[in-house]
Amino acid sequence: MNKSELVIIGGGPAGLSAGIYASRAAIKTVLLERGVPGGLVVNSQHIENYPGFEGGISGPELMVQMEKQARRFGLEILPTNVGGIKSVGHKIVLETDRGELSAGALIVATGAQPNLLGVKGETELTGRGVSYCATCDGAFFRGKRVAVVGGGDAAVEEAIFLTKFAEKVYVIHRRGELRATRIIQHRAFDNSKIEFVWHSVVDEIQGGDLVETAIIRDVRNNESTSLNVDGVFIYVGYRPNSSLVKDVVKLDERGYIITDENMRTTQPGVFAAGDVRQKLLRQVVTAVADGAIAAVAAEKYLEEKA
């Protein structure tokens, strides 16, 4: 069984930030990532709201720089899948494709995934007009026409946010009324830039290099129409990648990991950082902050247990 002082699961901004802080503190740390480090950020073509980059930076470039920085401090990054986690005494034991790995502390930074519509053109045009984050990409649609898919709080709030930039925002919802809270609904109804497309779903997203058209179908009569838009923002929910620890730590009703302000979960020695934990804002900057806090908290935990 391989041993480390600290194991981090997930190589997105939270995991890499935790790796930077932990490795720099001379903690023997290994980061486990089943794919390519970077997380969902690698899908962002341009990030304008991460401090320190006046002209912005692409998601892939930012993640490459974070990974290089983490490796420079000695972080070991292993490409492997984690199949299970259990607590044995004061140790955390992980079952991986490379065998069992034990650690004194664990940081879970496995992120979250947006639910997809699953329609033609969605995947192909992601990052080229299809987005799951208005806060990240809204400014690129200044003076343009966009569609928001969904009827819950997130969808309607982001539609309102997009009116700061777009000249027209269509909210496409399969029902005849919104699921969002009343106060948010009223704000949207009072906004002249927002137009609601009721009883409708998106069947296809079309475009060449960029999004050009959304094919909308009325669920009452199955009639289809074309909506000329420059962007499609999809808000049909997120799902946290927390199934790995559902029997180890406490989750909220949506499956997000519950932590305190120091990223401690309900299981001693297990910390969580980034989009997988219950929080107000899910952005690169908050994920990086979470990772730093989690690493420092894990360091103090390991010192107390030494």
One domain for residues 17 and 68: yes
DSSP, collapsed to helix, strand or coil, labels residue 158 as helix
pLDDT, residue 294, reads 98
Q: Which of 217, 234, 251 is the last residue of a domain?
A: 234
Please give the residue that has the higher pLDDT: either 303 or 1: 303
Same domain, 180 and 222: yes
Confidence of residue 298 (pLDDT cuts 50, 70, 90): very high
Distance (Å, rounded) from C-alpha 91 to C-alpha 103? 6
Residues 75 and 137 in one domain: no
Span 54-64, pLDDT tens digits: 998 988 899 99
Q: Catalytic one among 97, 137, 218, 252?
A: 137
**pLDDT given for residue 2 in this prediction:** 67
Query: 131 with 213, same domain?
Result: yes
Sequence-distant (≥ 6) Cβ neighbours of residue 259 within 8 angstroms: 265, 271, 272, 277, 278
The pair phi, psi for residue 2, each rounded to 5°, is -75, 145
Indicate which residue of 97, 136, 218, 247 is catalytic: 136
220 and 198 in a common domain: yes
Task: Report whether pLDDT(217) > 70.
Answer: yes
Predicted pLDDT at 147: 98
Q: What is the per-residue pLDDT for 90?
A: 81
> Does the active-site annotation cover 137?
yes
Q: What is the DSSP string of 205-247?
A: EEESSSEEEEEEEETTT--EEEEE-SEEEE-S-EEES-GGGTT
Pair (82, 226) in one structural domain: no
Q: Is 133 one of the annotated active-site residues of the chain?
A: yes
Tell me, yes or no, whether 141 and 171 share the same domain.
yes
- State which residues form the domain around 285: 2-113+238-305
Catalytic residue status for 136? yes
For residue 190, give Cα distances in angstroms to 142, 184, 196, 275.
Answer: 20, 10, 12, 32
Q: What is the mean pLDDT of residues 166-186?
A: 95
How sure is the predictor about 89, in pLDDT bands with cuts at 50, 70 and 90?
confident
Task: Indicate if 253 and 151 belong to the same structural domain.
Answer: no
Asked which of 197, 216, 234 is the last residue of a domain, the reply is 234
Same domain flag for 172 and 218:
yes
Q: Which residue has the tokens 């360091």?
A: 299
Domain boundary among 210, 234, 258: 234
| Residue 57: alpha-carbon gap to chain centroid | 18
pLDDT at 253 over 60: yes
Pair 141, 189 in one domain: yes
Rounded to a whole number of angstroms, the distance between the first and last alpha carbons of the chain is: 20
Average pLDDT rounded to a whole number, residues 101-107: 96
**In this structure, are residues 305 and 29 in contact, taking their beta carbons and an 8 Å threshold?**
no
Beta bridge partner(s), residue 2:
101
Which of 133, 153, 203, 218 is an active site residue?
133
Contact call for residues 266 and 281 (beta carbons, < 8 A) = no
Q: Are residues 244 and 107 in the same domain?
A: yes
User: What phi and psi, each to the nearest 5 degrees, are found at residue 135?
Assistant: -60, -35
242 and 217 co-located in one domain: no
Range 143-160 average pLDDT: 94
Counted domains in the chain: 2
CATH, residue 280: 3.50.50.60
User: What one-character DSSP code corresponds to residue 258?
Assistant: P
Who contacts 55 (Cβ-Cβ below 8 Å, separation ≥6)?
A: none
